């Protein structure tokens, strides 16, 4: 968990590859659905572009399908889900039904000014969906050659709305987990990628 631009995707990819487990990012799944023009993409696009959350029933339906189709033997990492208390309650029911346990909640903390700075330099590849912070003047994706563009929801006015939505709807999820018996690890998200990853790994080990 963490506000937009906290590094959930970057740190999540590193963790998933280190532990050899899948990472399920609701944001990535929704953007891919938007590129494919699927029904899910059509349902989600307007909310995403406006910086609002996609409705809970859509997200819970999506994650039910994802989690039912996964072989959870080695575990998995959830990135950007749950984002509301209702989603957290839905996840609890899903885990209970599947006889699975949530080991820990990772909360990446980054201040608003740093978020605005990070998101203004972030780009998305229109072809493969990679999210990158390219060197000045770089306009093509190093992986697939696709055009790099600003994510529609990374425009400053939309980022401000996403931050409000985060405070109003997502931060309460942390309180909800803190009251339960789930371990919540608060990780400062500032510094370079390797430093943050080290903090996460030592938090998980303790
Ligand atoms: P992200 O890539 O995680 O920053 O997500 C981008 C956007 O996708 C969010 O601003 C929401 O519009 C939507 N989204 C992603 N995950 C969720 C979720 N769990 N619940 C509702 N909307 C979501």
What pLDDT sits at residue 71?
A: 79
- Burial call 86-114: b when 16+ CB within 10 Å, e when fewer: bbbebbbebeeeeeeeeeebbbbebeeee
**Residue 34 has what pLDDT?**
93
Decide if 105 contacts 185 (C-beta within 8 A): yes
Banded model confidence at residue 32, pLDDT cuts 50, 70, 90 = very high
Q: Distance between CA atoms of 65 and 181, rounded to whole angstroms? A: 26
Query: From CA 160, how far away is CA 51, in angstroms rounded?
Result: 8
Q: Phi/psi at 13 (nearest 5 deg)?
A: -65, -45
From 81, 95, 72, select the one nearest 27 (Cα to Cα): 81
% residues pLDDT > 70 (the chain): 100
At 107, phi and psi to the nearest 5? -115, 110
- Which residue is closest in CA terms to ligand 1's atom 14? 27
Burial of residue 68, with CB atoms counted within 10 A of its CB: 0-12 exposed, 13-18 middle, 19 or more buried: exposed
73: confidence class by pLDDT, cuts 50, 70, 90: confident
pLDDT-based confidence at residue 80 (cuts at 50, 70, 90): very high
Residues 127-171: tens digit of each pLDDT: 999 999 998 889 999 999 999 999 989 998 899 999 999 999 999
Of 5, 6, 13, 30, best ligand 1 pocket probe by most atoms within 8 Å of the beta carbon: 30
Q: If you measure from the C-alpha of residue 198 to the centroid of ligand 1, how many angstroms do you get, rounded to a whole number?
A: 26
- If you average pLDDT over every residue of the chain, what do you get? 94
pLDDT tens digit sequence for 53-65 = 999 999 999 999 9
Which residues carry out catalysis? 8, 83, 122, 151, 162
What pLDDT sits at residue 181?
Answer: 85
In this predicted structure, the answer to whether residue 10 has a pLDDT above a threshold of 90 is yes
CA 13 to chain centre: 10
> Above 90 in pLDDT, residue 96?
yes
Q: What is the largest CA-CA distance in the chain?
A: 50
> What is the rounded CA–CA span in Å between residue 86 and residue 55?
10
Q: State the sign of the Cα–Cα–Cα–Cα dihedral 27, 162, 16, 125.
A: positive
DSSP assignments along 158-185, one per residue: HHHHHHHHIIIIIHHHHHHHHHTT-EEE
CA of 94 to the centre of ligand 1 (A): 19
Q: Is the pLDDT of residue 206 over 90?
A: no
CA angle at 27 for the pair 23 and 28, rounded to the nearest 5°: 60
Distances in whole angstroms, Cα of residue 78 to Cα of each of 11, 24, 33, 138, 157: 12, 5, 18, 31, 27
What are the pLDDT digits (tens) for 13-27? Answer: 999 999 999 999 999
Confidence of residue 182 (pLDDT cuts 50, 70, 90): very high
- Give me ligand 1 centre to Cα 51, in Å: 8
């Amino acid at each position: 968990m963490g506000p937009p631009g906290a590094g959930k995707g970057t740190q999540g990819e590193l963790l998933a590859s280190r532990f050899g487990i899948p990472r399920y990012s609701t944001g990535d799944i929704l953007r891919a659905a938007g590129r494919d023009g699927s029904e899910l993409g059509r349902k989600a696009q307007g909310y995403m572009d406006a910086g609002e959350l996609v409705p809970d029933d859509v997200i819970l339906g999506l994650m039910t399908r994802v989690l039912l189709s996964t072989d959870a033997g080695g575990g998995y990492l959830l990135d950007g889900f749950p984002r509301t208390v209702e989603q957290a309650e839905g996840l609890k029911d899903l885990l209970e039904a599947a006889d699975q346990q949530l080991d820990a909640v990772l909360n990446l903390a980054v201040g608003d000014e740093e978020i605005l700075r990070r998101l203004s330099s972030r780009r998305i590849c229109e072809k493969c969906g990679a999210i990158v912070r390219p060197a000045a003047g770089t306009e093509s994706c190093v992986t697939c050659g696709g055009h790099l563009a600003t994510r529609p929801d990374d425009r400053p006015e939309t980022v401000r709305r996403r931050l409000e939505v985060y405070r109003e709807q997502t931060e309460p999820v942390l309180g909800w987990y803190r009251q339960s018996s789930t371990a919540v690890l608060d990780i400062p998200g500032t510094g370079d990628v390797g430093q943050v990853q080290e903090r996460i790994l030592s938090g998980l080990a303790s």
